[in-house]
Amino acid sequence: MPIDTARNGSTFVITLNRPEAMNAIDPQMFWDLGAAWNEFEHDDSLLVAIVTGAGTKAFCAGRDLVKSVQDSGNDWSQRRSESRLTPDGIWKPVIAAVNGHCLAAGFGLALGCDLRVAARNATFGTMAAKRGIVAGGGQTQRLARYIPFGKAMEMVLFGERIDAEEAHRTGLVNRLVDEGQALDASLEWAAKLAENGPLAVRAMKQLMYEGGLDMHFHDSLRAEARKYAELMTTEDAAEGARAFAEKRPPKFKGR
């Protein structure tokens, strides 16, 4: 199968499993990835997702151009509405464990995650300008918002790769680890995220994307105030305060 899924407690691990093709995305992987995102979104026992690639050479090299050139029916990019490349609209946190080359549509997938942990051998690039196409899957829009605009423009227009160190310096990568350690480090982060109040985590993720990126500042402040008031009425908010007063770890229930 081009996609493997596994459960590690409340963490859902999605592995792109075509290492012989640098985990490039063919149609079946595209459909299966969408199914995996749907499973994660609708299973209340899952709190965090990690997406990674099989092996240490590549996270994902992008769309499988070899298959697309051989048969245009294999070009899933023309049918994006039929499945889901990125976890857009899922308010649970998602980590990209980038264990090698992260390019083109694979780069779009990593950008669509909330946090990026990268091995030092990782590289990042849109590559689209070199193929005569537009960098899709949110690459142009997310880059313009996530890193300094001039650097984003450089990456898009030249289509050159940057290494993990440079990605970390620009803020594109949250954490750098040694080769082969991206998944383990991401699992550690996922376990820490799962200790926090799930309703609060989802609410703040939604506010960061919708308010921080889409709304006028004063509208986003009002949205934050509404979410704050809403969350203060939950059992989790009461438990968080009680646990602090009693000097013990909280036991959140997601309600």
Could you read off the pLDDT of 231-245 as tens digits, one per residue? 999 999 999 999 999
- Domain hosting 35: range is 3-195
What is the rounded average pLDDT for all residues in the chain? Answer: 94
> Phi/psi of residue 33, each to 5°?
-65, -40
The identity of residue 133, as a single letter, is I
Residue 44 included in any domain: yes
**Same domain (yes/no): 99, 212:** no
Q: Residue 106 pLDDT more than 90?
A: yes
Residue 251 included in any domain: no
β-bridge pairing 48-53 and 58-60: unpaired
Q: What is the pLDDT of residue 64?
A: 82
**Same domain (yes/no): 35, 53:** yes
Bridge partners, residue 50, by sequence: 13, 95
**Same domain (yes/no): 77, 158:** yes
Q: What is the pLDDT of residue 65?
A: 74
Q: What is the mean pLDDT of residues 122-146?
A: 95
State the number of CA atoms in the 13 A half-sphere of 194 facing the CB.
19
**Same domain (yes/no): 159, 208:** no
> Helix, strand, coil % (nearest 5) of the chain?
50, 15, 35
Q: What is the pLDDT of residue 108?
A: 97
How far apart, in whole angstroms, are the C-alpha atoms of residue 234 and residue 225? 15
**Same domain (yes/no): 176, 206:** no
**Same domain (yes/no): 168, 241:** no
Q: Residue 21 pLDDT more than 90?
A: yes
**Same domain (yes/no): 92, 205:** no
Residue 72 included in any domain: yes
Residue 250 included in any domain: no
What's the CATH code of the domain at 179?
Answer: 3.90.226.10
**Residue 83 — pLDDT band, cuts 50, 70, 90?**
confident
Residue 252 included in any domain: no
Q: What is the mean pLDDT of residues 51-62?
A: 96
CB 4 within 8 A of CB 28: no
**Same domain (yes/no): 228, 164:** no
- Residue in 250, 212, 211, 218 with CA at minimum distance from that of residue 234: 250
Percent of the chain with pLDDT over 70: 95
Question: Of 153, 177, 195, at which residue does a domain stop?
Answer: 195
Q: Residue 159 pLDDT more than 60?
A: yes
β-bridge pairing 115-119 and 162-163: unpaired
Q: What is the pLDDT of residue 73?
A: 66
Residue 234 included in any domain: yes
What's the CATH code of the domain at 239?
Answer: 1.10.12.10
How far apart, in whole angstroms, are the C-alpha atoms of residue 210 and residue 136? 20
**Residue 202 — pLDDT band, cuts 50, 70, 90?**
very high
**Same domain (yes/no): 90, 151:** yes
State the total domains in the chain.
2
pTM for the model: 0.95
Higher model confidence: residue 9 or residue 65?
A: 9
**Same domain (yes/no): 116, 88:** yes
Question: Of 179, 195, 211, at which residue does a domain stop?
Answer: 195
**Same domain (yes/no): 142, 216:** no
Q: Residue 171 pLDDT more than 80?
A: yes
Q: What is the pLDDT of residue 205?
A: 97
Q: What is the mean pLDDT of residues 133-140?
A: 93
**Residue 87 — pLDDT band, cuts 50, 70, 90?**
very high
Q: Residue 115 pLDDT more than 60?
A: yes
Q: What is the mean pLDDT of residues 106-130?
A: 97
Higher model confidence: residue 75 or residue 109?
A: 109
Residue 97 included in any domain: yes
Q: What is the pLDDT of residue 70?
A: 62
Question: How wide is the angle at C-alpha 140 spanned by C-alphas 33 and 41, nearest 5°?
Answer: 30
Q: What is the pLDDT of residue 125?
A: 97
The identity of residue 197, as a single letter, is G
Q: Residue 77 pLDDT more than 80?
A: no
The identity of residue 172, as a single letter, is L
**Same domain (yes/no): 141, 182:** yes
